[in-house]
Amino acid sequence: MAGLPDHLGPHCLRYTYVTRLIESGYDGQFVTDQVSHSHAATTAIYTAVSSEFKNLKVREHLDAAEEAALQRAFAMAEAEAEMDDDFSDHAAGEPAGRRRRER
């Protein structure tokens, strides 16, 4: 009745609906309820996310990991710089940290 090609029956629309909800970030239980499944595992069978979506998620995780690594590296560099300042203060005969407080 909808004029769909024979290979695109109502069940294909159901798969597409579930996939689009998941890709849009809807909660899994909400999606399961939407399609009246008793178990999330049944809904998972319908979930065939696109390559574009998978690539997006991988990119998000890689970006987050890179950001965390950069933050750790900057924190380490800052801590090392403070240790160097303390060492040079000590080598110059000043109490550790004195020169830094006076700056």
Q: CA 50 to CA 38: how far, in whole Å?
A: 25
Of residues 66 and 46, more confidence is placed in: 66
Q: How do the domains of the chain map onto residue ranges?
A: 7-49, 50-103
Residue-level pLDDT at 96 = 52
Q: Write the CA distances from 40 to 43, 56, 77, 85, integer angstroms.
A: 5, 23, 46, 57
Query: Is the model's pLDDT at 59 over the cut of 80?
Result: yes
Residues 1-58 have pLDDT tens digits of 777 777 777 777 888 888 888 888 899 899 999 989 998 888 887 777 677 777 787 8
- Predicted TM-score (pTM) of the model is 0.45
- Give the span between the Cα atoms of 88 and 60, in whole angstroms: 42
Do 80 and 55 meet the contact criterion of CB atoms below 8 Å apart?
A: no
